[in-house]
Amino acid sequence: MSAKVQHCQLYLTLPHDLGAGAGQALDELLGEHEIACVLLRSSPEGLVNRELGVNLRDVADRRETAFLVEDDLNAALALEADGLHIGADRELLARARAMLAQDVQIGIHCGSQRHQAMDMGETGADYVAFGEDLASHSEHVCELIEWWSEIFVLPCVAWGISDARQGLTYAERGADFVALHEDLWSQPEALSEVIAGLAASFANAQDAA
């Protein structure tokens, strides 16, 4: 198994419209599995539910898991989030970097655009994410992640992973994180299966090192 897998970690994305009981469900999940970070996605208007965010942030803090929000800079400030995930926007990145504490991580979603990723990395991003929201991925994205991991130190995330085999493929190609698709949250058994499968693969790679 590729040595690159040893260093890959899990990144959980959560829908913006989580229902009641989300905090308890997340707490149980983080208690069972080692997950590096949790991202609360924004609504179509680019806003995060702050009441929900407070609940999830407290759970993540208790479980020593980084808590990030998507797009909503004001919510990231109000919630004292550990990170902000945004699109490739130089102006927003500069504004976020100026307003957020220096230890807050700012990640940039770059789709399949290598020049965008390089530009955002040079502008101050803490990580770049490749892939789309849909579960389908192309060999081009695999090649992009492999290229990035061989040239740059800045971490990269494989986005929208829907099954363990897919996640392992990206880990083997050099992804530092695999971000599980938000739709998995509504399928608890499938989510646990994907997490367990990837966790076992990562642990086996470490044992073999």
The tens digit of pLDDT for each residue in 22-43 reads: 999 999 999 999 999 999 999 9
Look at residue 55 in the predicted model and tell me its pLDDT. 97
Determine the Cα–Cα distance for residues 156 and 3; give it in Å rounded to an integer: 16
| Contact between residue 43 and residue 206 where contact means Cβ atoms under 8 Å apart | no
- Return the pLDDT at 118: 97
pLDDT for 202 equals 87
> How far apart are alpha carbons 189 and 123 in whole angstroms?
40
Q: Where are the beta strands (DSSP E) in 43-172?
A: 66-70, 83-87, 105-111, 127-130, 156-161
Name 194's Cβ contacts closer than 8 Å, sequence gap at least 6. Answer: 161, 162, 163, 164, 167, 180, 184
This prediction's pTM: 0.94
pLDDT of residue 106: 98
Separation of alpha carbons 13 and 180, rounded Å: 6
Provide the strand spans (E) within 55-104.
66-70, 83-87
Question: Residue 22: which H helix or E strand, with range?
Answer: helix 22-32
Give the pLDDT score at 204. Answer: 83
What parts of the chain have a pLDDT lower than 50? none
The string of pLDDT tens digits covering residues 112-137 is 999 999 999 999 999 999 998 655 56
Q: What radius of gyration do the chain's Cα atoms show?
A: 16
Q: Burial level of 101, CB count in 10 A (0-12/13-18/19+)?
A: exposed
**Which CATH architecture best describes the domain 3-9+73-208?**
Alpha-Beta Barrel (3.20)
